[in-house]
Each structure stands twice: as C-alpha cells, then as structure tokens.
Amino acid sequence: MEARPGQGKTTTAVQYINHKPGPAIWYQIGEEDCNPLSFLTSIIEVVDHTLSGLVSHYVGESVTVGNIDKADIPRTIDKITSRLATLSSPALTFVFDDVHIIKDVPETMHVLDSLLDISPENIHFLLLSRSPVPILSKRVKFGSSTTYLTNENLSFSLHETIELLNILKVKYTSREYAQHLHAVTEGWVMGLILAMDSPNQKLTEVIDLSSSEFDSSSLHHYLQATTLTNLPEELQNDLLKLSLLEEIPSDLAERITGNSEICQHLDRLMMDNHFIKLTDADIETYTFHHLMRESLRAEYSNRFSDVDRLEVLNSAIDHYLSEGLIERVVVYVLRLGVLSEVEKFLENYGLELITKNRLHSLHTIPDELITAYSSESAWLAFLQGILLSDSKPEEGLNHLLHSAELFRGKEDKAGRLLALSQLIFHQVLTSIDLENASSFLEEATDIHNQINDTLSVYYQIFICRNLGAGHLVFSGEHEKS
C-alpha cells in the first residue's frame, strides 16, 4: 500500500488481519532501522515477542546488536524463514509499516528484499509506505500474488463520505455540503476528519489537492485553519516550539515548553486525530505527522526569533548528548546553521558514529541539510564518503576526495590523514582510481609518522587499519602492514 499519510493504510491493514485467519506480526519501522544490522535484530525480537520465542534460540545467541555481522545477514534470514515455515496453517501475515523510512538505505532494503524472496509461500506480507519504495524482490516485482493499493484505491467515495458524516454525527445542512467536503479532500480520510473537527464544520475555500496549482502554503493554511487556530494561544506556541524537533520525548517537551502538562495535551490531540502519534509508549515519545510539522514550522518563524529557535535546538542537543544518542544530535547541530559548530561536533563525535555502527543514521538527515553543508564541511563529506562506499562507490570516492581537499585547505593534518587513509582503503575494496593510491599511501604514511603520537586511540585504530591494508596491497611491504 503506497498512499499519503492519513489515507487509511494502517486501518486497511488492520481490517485485513482481522478478516484473515492466522497469526500476524506487525513491525513498525523507525529511523533506527536505517542500520541493517539493527533492523534484522529487531525483526527477530518482534517475531519472538509475537510467536513466543520461535526464532532467537534457533538462529543462535550471537544474533544481537553489536555481534551480528553483515556477512551473517543471508544466513540469519534463511534461518528465520526456515523457522517460520514450520508454522502450521493458516498462513502468517507479516506487516511492515512506514517502509518509506528505509527506502534510501540500500543495505536495509536488501534485508527486506531477502526476507521477501526467501520466505515460503505460507507467509504473506503487507508493506505500507507513504512514497514509492525501490523493492527489488522478485517475489514482489514478478509474482502473480502481488496487489498494489494507492491513494485512489483507499480514498473515500462520496457515499462513504456521507456515511462518515452520519457516523460521527456531524450536522451538515445539505448533500451539496457533503459534496463540497468530498471535493476539497478528494476522499482523504484524515482531511475529512480534520475538516469535521472545525468548529463551524465548514471550509471557507475549495482546495484541489491534485491540482498543479496546489502548493505547500495552501496545505499549511488548511492545516492551521482546522487545527492550530482552534487551540489556546499558549498551547499553540508550545506546539510551534516542539515542531522544531524530529521526535518529542516527554521530558524534553517539558523542558522546552516549561509546561508540566504538555504530555496530557499531546495525548488529547493525538486522540482527536490532530496529526500527532506516540512512537514509543514506554518512554512517552511523540512525533508530529510530517505535514503538520512542516505547517507548524512555517508558522514558527512568524512568531519567534532566531534566538528562540537556537534555544530550542540547543536544548535538543543537550538532551540527546546526555542520553548518549550521538546520531540524534547530528541533525540538530546541522540545523544550527553554523559551519564551525558542525565541524567541531563531527570532529569530536564523527569517529564514534563509525565505531558504534551508527553511521547509517546519516540517511535520516533531511537532504536539504546535507546539501547546505556538502560543499564546505570536510567532516560531513568524509562521513558521507564512508557511508556510500558500499552502495555507491564512485559517489563515495568523490566525497572522500572532496573531504581530503577541504582538510588540506584547513591545514588539518589529522583530518587529511583520516581522509587519505579511507581513500586508500576504498581503493583496496573497489579498485577505482588505483593510479592515485600509491601517492595517497606515501603522503598518508608521512603524515602518520609526524603526528601519530598526538592522535587518540580511535584515530590510530581507524588509520592503521587502512594504512595496513594499503601497504599490503599497493607496496607489498608485509612487515610494515
């Protein structure tokens, strides 16, 4: 199912599960699943939770985050699916919700594709996404049992719109009003509910959501007119501040708003279908629907200063640093809009993202933030180069070359050494641009001899691994390697 938010994907999936006999597993994809190893481990955990430990003992105790390796992925998936195949009929239904979150991460998509292809026929899959997803699974692309549902399939008809109005006991004056409401939303379920939440139960203008003239400003106006303006001003301002966050932990929400009851307000708004959802009930973490978040951010600049914005962002940075969630901090540091702060942060924590296998979190950073710094940030170019080395080696090479030049321009020998050593390792793995590998190796070895004693142990381990591989492959100096 590929449809816009609030179109009814989740409801349709729930109805399908209730209609169909047999067990069901629901996997809610999140940003942490951009790490393929975390994704696979979490799949095992949710299967075990649903099916009473069916899988973990069978695949072995070594399959835990930090122990599982990329080379183990095919074998582990095969073990999972072989175990699921032992389930007696009726068939198992496996739902993956919000697949669009991982659509730009080839390694994680490969895990999903492998699971789809290797699984036996008695396992049925429902994939829910807000946007097109590059599924490569032969079972999905060429199988005879694949069904696609889109916005058009899930939109309410006029008759269903009238039924919804009656069920919710909305008093509309005529069939013409129902037709007007249906035309405005084009049967978009959440749009209908938002419109009916309006105190006047009436829209002031017709918005054609499919028109080429429809733009984000119209949508922002629509969402604000039907939701934000109906709330007390103090709560409006609290929501505007929280819209600067990608997700909203309850303690951070209280810190930013100074409102000890903010979570009760968020719960009430969530129950009223105001584009807020609870992403983690255990630690009370909320998030706005992305359309609502964009709408609130557009309004934020009209009410608050840049100083206020920086205060919110710095509060988020302090919160996630205290939690040790470095990958969450990156996006807020980038949003500060200060290159020196970006470089300082990545210099301090960039290698930690690599050594703790959290580099895939960069996939979750909005493209506009990456683009804003891509030409100037040596560290961001360096990390992007490593991240893309496997899936897009030539693009990864370009990022590494760019980072090496930026470090040279800054006269940052340690950074230059990091970039050169990774370029050498990249050549070992891909054999792209081999003619420059020897000169990279010579320069990197010279810098290493000059500054090795001043480098932290993390730098030394990372650099020596790369230089060792380079000397083994390009110079044949086994003893030095």
Q: Which pLDDT score is estimated for 226?
A: 61
Residue with tokens 């049992």: 145
Rounded-to-integer distance, Cα 358 and Cα 361, Å: 6
Amino acid (1-letter code) at residue 5 = P
Instruction: Classify burial at 418, counting beta carbons within 10 Å of its beta carbon; exposed 0-12, middle 13-18, buried 19 or more.
Output: buried
Length of the chain in residues, anyone? 481
Peptide bond into 74 cis (omega under 30): no
Classify 236 as helix, strand or coil: helix
DSSP per residue, 78-115: HHHHHHHTTSPSSPEEEEEE-GGGGTT-HHHHHHHHHH
CB 136 within 8 A of CB 113: yes
Rounded-to-integer distance, Cα 75 and Cα 71, Å: 8
Q: Which pLDDT score is estimated for 205?
A: 38
Q: Which pLDDT score is estimated for 369?
A: 75
CB 296 within 8 A of CB 243: yes
Rounded-to-integer distance, Cα 311 and Cα 304, Å: 11
Residue with tokens 């183990």: 72
Secondary structure letter of residue 385 according to DSSP? H
**Which pairing describes strands 123-127 and 92-97: parallel, antiparallel, or unpaired?**
parallel
Helix then strand then coil, in percent of the chain rounded to 5, is 65, 5, 30
Q: Which pLDDT score is estimated for 400?
A: 93
The torsion angles phi and psi of 450, rounded to 5 degrees, stand at: -75, -40
CB 23 within 8 A of CB 84: no
Rounded-to-integer distance, Cα 414 and Cα 447, Å: 8
Provide the residue-wise pLDDT of the chain in tens; the chain has 481 residues. 988 777 889 889 999 998 988 888 899 998 888 888 888 888 888 887 777 666 555 555 545 444 556 667 777 888 777 777 776 566 789 999 999 889 888 889 989 998 898 888 888 899 999 878 889 998 888 887 889 998 889 989 988 888 887 776 655 556 777 787 787 777 877 777 766 654 444 333 333 333 333 344 555 666 676 677 778 999 999 999 999 998 999 999 999 999 999 999 998 887 665 678 887 666 689 988 766 888 899 889 899 999 999 999 999 999 999 998 888 898 899 889 888 888 899 888 888 888 777 777 777 677 777 777 878 889 989 988 888 887 788 888 999 999 999 999 999 999 999 999 999 998 888 876 667 888 899 999 999 999 999 998 888 989 999 999 999 888 888 888 8
* Cα 294 from chain centroid (whole Å): 16
**Crossing angle between the packed helical segments 393-409 and 413-430, to the nearest 10 degrees:** 160
Element (H, E) at 442: helix 437-451
Q: Which pLDDT score is estimated for 327?
A: 84
Instruction: Work out the end-to-end distance of the chain between its first and last CA atoms, rounded to an integer number of angstroms.
Output: 52
Q: Which two tokens stand for residue 255?
A: 């810190």
Amino acid (1-letter code) at residue 183 = A
